[in-house]
Amino acid sequence: MKFSEQLNTGLTGLLDHPFRTFLTMLGMIFGVGAVIAMVSIGAGAEAESLEELKKFGNTGIRVSSIEIQGERLDEALKKQSSGLSLSDTEFIKNACSSFIKLVVPEIINDYDVYIMNKKPLVKVCGVGDGFLDASNFEVDKGRFFSSSEQNKAALCAVLGAGVAAEVFGEVEPVGQFIQIERIRFEVIGVMKAQGSGVGKLAIKRRDHDRDIYIPINSNMYRLEKWPLEDKDIYHEINSIWIEVKEEYDLLAARDKIAGILQRRHMDIVDFEIQVPLEILQQSQKTQKLFNLVMALIAGISLLVGGIGIMNIMLASVNERKKEIGVRRALGASKSDIVVQFLVEASLISFIGGFIGIFTGVVISYAISYYTGWRTVIPLSSVFVSFFVSIGVGMIFGIFPAVKAAKMDPVKVLRYE
């Protein structure tokens, strides 16, 4: 028989029992759909990790203060550790000048802020020179404050995208005035949206879109009136943004900075150092294992679907014994019978795999829509799952096809 005739015969056989054929396809549909959906979740998480790294840079280091209390605080005060401070920033800058490009201090405060007769919940961040380069943040409207404004402790501010959208709406923020405590600051810029929450790289970060940035000198001398009189304040600053020269090993730089701070803080653990690149590498290893496990779980669905195809094809062989005998009596060879049943099994897999692709895409978008997780559908997962489903159908269709071909034509012609 020609292949076109085999194909037509196979389709006719499947359409004779449409409901049974559909139930048989379900294994392939859900198997392929599960593979695509699970791989899309893993690929989406990896894409978010890469975006997270871009936000913090692949040569960046972040030193953050850790709040200590009770006996640990008493021990720190006895050892005369002053917590994370501006002097740490200057010391790192001078001691590590051979491999560090930027060292930028940051002070974060919960000041009362009034804008357009509103009192939004925000963080006021006093930052030093080079903050944009060290953080990889970008300005969307207006500009960031200059070194001159930093030195003069100018009364200027740059708003996070979320704050600007909430309080100003359609009104142009640049050029407006806001009040921080009792002091008026002019808005000179608005930051690009950064995203919020805990990063996928486990980088602890707040909602930067709700920050208001001012020069650190303005924070110190206009708002806090340094030197501080409150002796209960342990940390002078909240964090240090560090940019390492590209040719220098990032982890070696991290270790040197950690050693310097440990000595200066008398071995008091009151800070933590995060390296986004290192966290990304760890995250990718975990993600690969996670993707493998998900693919194996989804592969089980394909295996179950293949077993379903074999069972149905065996039932079909038993039902069509007389048909097989007639074909053999009319001159059909054993290979013709094998091909006929393999074509039917392949058609079930082909149509089921095609519907499964559509199902997987729908599931991926539904997961993204209802959970907020990012999903990315790699074309490789679509093609691999589709062709694997066809291969599974053919493999599990071999046994029924061979069984049909081995039947004795004389005996099956007498079968009722």
Name the residue among 74, 173, 156 with its Cα closest to residue 115. 173
* Mean model confidence pLDDT for the chain: 82
Q: Which residue has the tokens 């001078």?
A: 94
- Tell me the pLDDT band of 201, cut-offs 50, 70 and 90: very low
What's the burial of 58, exposed, middle or buried (CB within 10 Å: 0-12/13-18/19+)? Answer: middle
Q: What is the pLDDT of residues 144-189, one digit of tens each?
A: 999 999 999 999 999 999 999 999 988 999 999 999 998 999 999 9
Tokens of 259: 């050693």
317 strand-pairing partners: none
Spatial CA neighbour of 243 closest among 199, 205, 277, 192: 277
Q: Are 127 and 104 in contact (CB under 8 A)?
A: yes
Q: One-letter amino acid identity for 308?
A: G
In angstroms, the CA 360 to CA 267 distance is: 53
CA atoms within 13 A on the CB side of 123: 15
Global pTM reads: 0.64
Extract the runs of DSSP E, i.e. beta strands, from 164-319: 177-180, 183-191, 211-215, 239-244, 271-274
Q: Are strands 139-142 and 177-180 parallel, antiparallel or unpaired?
A: unpaired
Separation in Å, CA 398 to CA 337, 354, 380, 390 = 11, 21, 27, 13
Task: Give tens-digit pLDDT for 73-82.
Answer: 888 888 877 7
283 against 221, higher pLDDT? 221
**Section 252-259 average pLDDT:** 91
30 vs 187, more confident: 187
Is residue 233 pLDDT above 50, yes or no?
Answer: yes
- DSSP E strands: which ranges in 237-346? 239-244, 271-274
What's the pLDDT at 415?
57
Report residue 165 as tokens: 């959208």
Closest among 341, 336, 352, 339 to 318, alpha carbons compared: 341
Q: Which helix (H) or strand (E) holds 355?
A: helix 334-371
Rounded Cα distance between 76 and 68, Å, is 9
| Each residue's pLDDT tens digit, 95-119 | 998 999 999 999 999 999 999 888 9
Contacts of 196 (CB under 8 A, 6+ apart): 162, 206, 207, 208, 209, 210
Report the SS3 class of residue 234. coil
Mean of pLDDT values over 183-199: 79
Q: Which tokens go with 306?
A: 């293949």
> What are the angstrom distances between the C-alpha of 138 and each of 134, 161, 188, 204, 311?
11, 11, 14, 20, 61
| Mean pLDDT in residue range 223-248 | 76
Measured in whole angstroms, how far is the alpha carbon of residue 9 from the centre of its chain?
Answer: 48
My answer on whether omega of the bond before 227 falls inside 30° of 0, hence cis, is: yes
Distance CA 94, CA 266 (A): 20
Lowest mean pLDDT among 75-79, 193-197, 255-259, 326-330: 193-197
